[in-house]
Amino acid sequence: MKLTMKKTACFLLFLSTCLSAQNSLHNQKNDELLVTNAMVVVGVGTPAEGPYDIHIKDGKIHAISGAKDDAEIRNKEIQQLDATGTYVLPGFINMHAHTMYTRAGIDMAQPYQHYLWLASGITTVRDLGSHTEVTLKEKKQSADGDIIAPRMFVYPMIWGNHSEKELKQKITEFKKQGVDGLKFGSMDKQTFHAASKLAKEYKLPVANHVGVEDMNAWDNIEAGTTTIEHWYGVPDAALNGVQNFPPDMNYSNELHRFRYAGRLWREADLGKLDQVLDGLVEAGVAWDPTLVIYEASRDLQRAVSSPWFKDYLHPGLEKFFQPNADSHGSFFWGWTSSDEVFWKNNYQIWFKALRDFADKGGIITTGEDGGYIYQLYGFGYLRELQLHQEAGFHPLEVLKHATVNSAKVLGQGDTLGQVRIGYTADLVIVKGNPMADLSVLWPRNIKPLTGDKSTGGIEWTIKDGIPYHAPTMLKAVREMVKESRKENQINYLVD
Ligand SMILES: [Zn+2]
């Protein structure tokens, strides 16, 4: 379709017709696509530039040109997507995702999560533990463009202590299945180092849930872990002695665990902490802090009453989030204002450690850990970006965490995470300027969080050169939620 034809159509017909003409690009595979008139954020931390036209060919960014001097390309028979007034960013990478198919015994079939992720601008997820076989199958379907889903890197989980023989069996089997990496957690030193050694032999990167355990960040430094997830093992490695737990502390009780995690950062020796951060940076260990997954700990009411729950919270998740010792992270049966204050202070020290880590040259990435502790897929990720800003990073740096840094850690720094010629055409097209206000990334129907209601919202997420219309996917999610609520006779609590 030529621009001239399209322009005429738009002038002659009603606006809604033009919009639907644009929406018809949803999930359409074209060999070539021209995104016109876009303000471009490359992803590397440099300011926005443009307006440019982005010429996509065979799923890659083929050319980026000044919108005024590319009449030639605009006159070619290429499908066009008008991005006037928008900002175009590299597709976001969610470094801490869990693909889920049921929650609290309630069926939560795809594409529920896939749509939420894509509609939030997430074109790539690193899956840190799910149903490995099913997720590997979906990874292939996504890569082939057969399903509407983000690109997936599958890191199955090895949890707890195991003998070397058991570890070898597990890792050999995972390697045979074709996984991209491994997630470790809750291990003693022996298991962790044996598992890390095997991962190295098999050339599998490792994401480590760095808990309050026998091992801590010093072991990650020694093993050269690819990423540490969350944070606990960092201050834990900087304690003088052990944490000052009360006599009745029971680590198996999640209320205890999360309560006293809120008092961990303040006990770290700051001199030692500096050494730990130096060690992590020197060993090339990246940090995926998942700031958002603890937000309920510092402000439970905010998390419980998230404005997107009304339309988008699946009843399986709603049930799972209710306080229950059997649901991981649903520990709020005795949460107090004092706990929230400890956590608010906890965050301040954590933020400073993250900034110091980055200043020393450490690589910080972004992940959401959705499906737990009142965090919803995609929405939690966008909130994670705001928390990185709150930690003290400039929005351009936050976007770098979400794109360039995460791509690098995935070993994809040469193909993903930048709006650059030759890179995979993974793009987020947003109606508004995220550098002025990261909340423009929220869907437009989440009114309470958008200051200017005339702007905002991700309009398109492009993955492998295929455009997906975010409002169309969100509408489908609202329908899925409605249907499942009816089927399971669970009405969202605010209704
Ligand atoms: Zn997780």
Number of H helices, E strands in the chain: 20, 18
Predicted confidence at residue 274, as pLDDT, reads 98
Ligand 1 mean position, distance from CA 369 (Å): 5
pLDDT in the model for residue 6: 40
Q: Give the Å distance between the CA of 98 and the centre of ligand 1.
A: 7
Q: Final residue of a domain: which of 357, 391, 409?
A: 409
Q: Mark whether 106 and 178 lie in a shared domain.
A: yes
C-alpha 268 to ligand 1 mean position (Å): 24
pLDDT in tens, 193-203: 999 999 999 99
Q: Is 45 helix (H, G, I), strand (E, B) or coil?
A: coil
Pair 174, 294 in one domain: yes
Cα 149 to middle of ligand 1, angstroms: 20
Please indicate, yes or no, if residue 301 is contained in any of the structural domains. yes
Instruction: Note whether residue 478 is domain-resident.
Output: no
**Residue 476 placed within a domain:** no
Expressed in angstroms and rounded, the spacing between residue 59 Cα and the centre of ligand 1 is 31
Kindly state whether residues 80 and 116 are assigned to the same domain.
no
Q: How far is the CA of 4 from the centre of ligand 1 (A)?
A: 49
Q: Say which residues have a Cβ less than 8 Å from residue 150's Cβ, sequence separation at least 6.
A: 94, 114, 117, 118, 122, 123, 124, 125, 142, 463
Q: What is the pLDDT of residue 405?
A: 98
User: Does residue 285 sit in helix, strand or coil?
Assistant: coil
Does residue 474 form part of some domain? no
Question: What separation in Å is there between the alpha carbon of 295 and the centre of ligand 1?
Answer: 15
Distance 221 CA to ligand 1 centre (A): 21
Out of 392, 409, 426, pick the residue that ends a domain.
409
Q: How many domains does the chain have?
A: 2
Rounded distance from Cα 462 to ligand 1 centre (Å): 26
Q: How far is the CA of 423 from the centre of ligand 1 (A)?
A: 29
Distance CA 317, CA 320 (A): 5
What pLDDT, on the 0 to 100 scale, is given for residue 13?
40
Cα 97 to middle of ligand 1, angstroms: 7
Assigned domain for 490 exists: no
Cα–Cα distance, 223 to 426 (Å, whole number)? 33
The boundaries of the domain holding residue 166 are 92-409
Say how many Å lie between the CA of residue 96 and the centre of ligand 1. 6
Residue 21 CA to ligand 1 centre (angstroms): 40
Q: Is residue 196 part of a domain?
A: yes
What is the whole-number distance in angstroms between the Cα of residue 243 and the centre of ligand 1? 24
- pTM recorded for the entire structure: 0.94
The verdict on residue 454 lying in a domain is yes
Q: What is the CATH number of the domain that holds 53?
A: 2.30.40.10
Return the pLDDT at 142. 98
Ligand 1 geometric centre to CA of 155 (Å): 11
Which candidate, 332, 334, 392, 385, places its Cα nearest to that of 358? 392
In a domain, 128, yes or no: yes
Q: What is the pLDDT of residue 454?
A: 65
pLDDT at 491 (0 to 100): 82
What's the pLDDT at 452?
A: 61
- Cα(426) to centroid of ligand 1, in Å? 25
For the chain, residues with pLDDT lower than 50 are 1-20, 494-495
